[in-house]
A = this chain, B = another copy of it.
Amino acid sequence: MTIRQDIHSAGIPVLCQSCEARHRGLCGALEPDQLIELSKTSSRRGVSPGAELTGDAEVVERYSNVLSGVVKLTKSLSDGRQQIVGLQFAPDFLGRPFKSESAISAEAATEVSLCSFPRSVIERMMKLSPGLEHRLLKQTLNELDEAREWMLALGRKTASEKVASFLLMIARNIDPATDPAAKSASFELPLTRADIADFLGLTIETVSRQLTRLRASDVIRIENNRHVTVDNLSHLEQRCGD
């Protein structure tokens, strides 16, 4: 048994062996020798909430995998109005291939751990191994589905439906280990009220009021502003409008 395990992970870089990105993320498409090559130029780093990972209209020379934590992708108008257009969880890939400027900025929402590597290396590998591009296509299609899901929310849902939908999305993403069909959930909100507002196209005050209403209706419990418990997820689902 231990021998089989050894054989199976033979040649895989130590750092990669228990890595989320290799199990469920992009690196799962790589052969051991490719993992070795990539790991030569890759480096792990932790960043703190608020740290800007890639700025708007900035040339990006390194791509990353999110290993833990939550990264927010934001777009802004010239007068400062801001919208979060995506949240990246582990083991999502972070980067915009085939385009150096992306008009999106990425910022750590929580403590984040990243594994980053040079743009050039991964792009070269993508040419050689179709499996890599295939995984990237799948993730991109999923992100597109999510973006469109939120377009519906932003354009047509009420403030309370938006907040309910947001909580449900977080509950489903924050701990993927939990059964997707679980009845209850308990988690730390990865975003501040300001971030939630920027995600839902609302103001801080409106978000706060809606959370208060959900609490008053016994749909959720809140401790320390951040910790949310949902005893019955279906109550939340009923408030999402869809």
The distance in angstroms between the C-alpha atoms of A151 and B242, with both chains bound, is: 19
Answer whether A143 and B145 are a contact pair too, CB < 8 Å, given A77-B242, A83-B156, A156-B83: no
The distance in angstroms between the C-alpha atoms of A115 and B201, with both chains bound, is: 38
Give the contacts of A147-164 with B (CB-CB under 8 A). Answer: 147-152, 154-157
Give the contacts of A93-127 with B (CB-CB under 8 A). Answer: 96-99, 102-104
The distance in angstroms between the C-alpha atoms of A96 and B148, with both chains bound, is: 13
Residues of the B chain whose Cβ atoms lie less than 8 Å from the Cβ of A151: 75, 83, 85, 147, 150-151, 154
A134: nearest chain-B partner, CB-CB: B133
A201: nearest chain-B partner, CB-CB: B155
Q: Confirm or deny: A141 has a beta carbon within 8 angstroms of a beta carbon on chain B.
A: yes
Q: Confirm or deny: A28 has a beta carbon within 8 angstroms of a beta carbon on chain B.
A: no
Q: Confirm or deny: A26 has a beta carbon within 8 angstroms of a beta carbon on chain B.
A: no
Answer whether A83 and B137 are a contact pair too, CB < 8 Å, given A77-B241, A104-B148, A143-B144: no
Answer whether A98 and B242 are a contact pair too, CB < 8 Å, given A134-B133, A151-B75: no
Would you list the 10 A-B pairs with minimal beta carbon distance, nearest first? A155-B201, A154-B154, A85-B148, A147-B147, A130-B130, A83-B155, A81-B156, A83-B152, A75-B152, A77-B241
The distance in angstroms between the C-alpha atoms of A152 and B150, with both chains bound, is: 11
Q: Confirm or deny: A222 has a beta carbon within 8 angstroms of a beta carbon on chain B.
A: no
Q: Confirm or deny: A136 has a beta carbon within 8 angstroms of a beta carbon on chain B.
A: yes
A100 to chain B, nearest CB (A): 13
Q: Confirm or deny: A179 has a beta carbon within 8 angstroms of a beta carbon on chain B.
A: no
Q: Confirm or deny: A86 has a beta carbon within 8 angstroms of a beta carbon on chain B.
A: yes
